A and B are shown apart, each in its own frame.
Chain A
Amino acid sequence: MFLKYGPDPLYWLKYVSRSGRGYQTNAIFLAGLPAIPARRARPPA
């Protein structure tokens, strides 16, 4: 699910749209990797 939807529904869409650096007929170039969601403390049991 992380790779399909990400932490939120726009995660991968934002990554693709913000990191686009051009394209050619058979490839689209992206710069960098998406940000990793911040770690959160495990809630107490």
Chain B
Amino acid sequence: MMSLSQVDWSTSTWRRAVRCSGVHWRKRSRGATFQAAAENALHGREDASLGIPGKVAELGADVATEAEIMLASDQFAPEGDLVLGGDGAQRDGAEVGTGTGDAGLALGSGGEGDGCTPLSRPRFTLHSVPHTHALSPALRWTTATGCSSTHPRRPSGKRWPPASSRSGPRRASTRSSCAILAIQGSRMGLYGQLGRSGTCVRLRDLAAGDRLLAFDPVSHAGPAGEAWYARVLPAPLMGGERHVAVTTPYVLTGVGAADAARFMWRAATASEMGGRLRGGPPGSRGHVPEVRAGPAVLAEVRLP
């Protein structure tokens, strides 16, 4: 069994790709940033890249808990590649990633990708972070290195990263922390698919009511009105409008967007009656904060 702390974090390892359940972020140059990588991904360029530093090994060890994590995607992870994904579950006797819950890293083992078992469980155990303050070790570590993971964007007119953090590990830490934080700060959601727009898909967040334009790397061309269960990251570029759907979408069969919206509303209502969200932080009893849309969305998502 191989753990992250045993990975050889040599330069060559550092250059290995990160695959994010369909979106490939591959390190291209030392100056690459998460934003640049994401921008490349948004424009469909193969060299979209993101470096992963050796410090991630320590990060992984710091946040180690009991949960394993895998990747759910049609993409396979070449041996040695790092994968950023969500929690995993058993399906058809195999451990597969679902993209739900917390984010974490995995190590690829190679093999053909068929959406089932892209990673090798026997060689590697990955631990995800369990709850709301999951990445506090990462935040503390990032703060300690002087890199701001909450403001990763290049300030206009200034060199970035700042000179004080331009050494390898610190610079790398910003990128990895941004990627991990972006995923960890996201959640799965129920979306109504409103149609495609080029390489993007127009979605309606059935909980929040927001309309999104999301880059869809797997280009699922389903009909408008489908209900998706997917993980959509916020727009990686400041002021950008295109979000990134990082998971292969779960398409709800036999369920329309209106049904999914009704489900969210009923779930919120049930919770308001006193159900406690045990997975949430203290004080989460009695409401579902993501559900802001209410019945108005239900009326709007009734598509032909």
Contacts and interface: CB of A to CB of B under 8 A. Distances in A.
Given A1-B284, A2-B291, A12-B101, A27 B248 contact: yes
B249 to A, nearest CB: 6
Interface residues of B, number: 55
Contacts of A32: 252, 254-255
B189 A5 contact: no
Interface stretch (B28-36, B173-181, B275-283): B275-283
Interface in A1-21: 1-9, 11-14, 16-17, 20-21
B14 interface: no
Contacts of A38: 270, 275
A39 B274 contact: yes
Contacts, number: 142
Interface residues of A, number: 37
B273 A2 contact: no
Interface SS of chain A: helix, strand, loop or mixed? loop
18 contacts: A1-B289, A2-B290, A2-B291, A4-B187, A4-B279, A5-B101, A7-B278, A7-B279, A8-B278, A20-B91, A28-B250, A30-B250, A33-B252, A33-B255, A33-B260, A33-B263, A36-B270, A37-B275
Interface of A: 1-9, 11-14, 16-17, 20-21, 23-34, 36-43
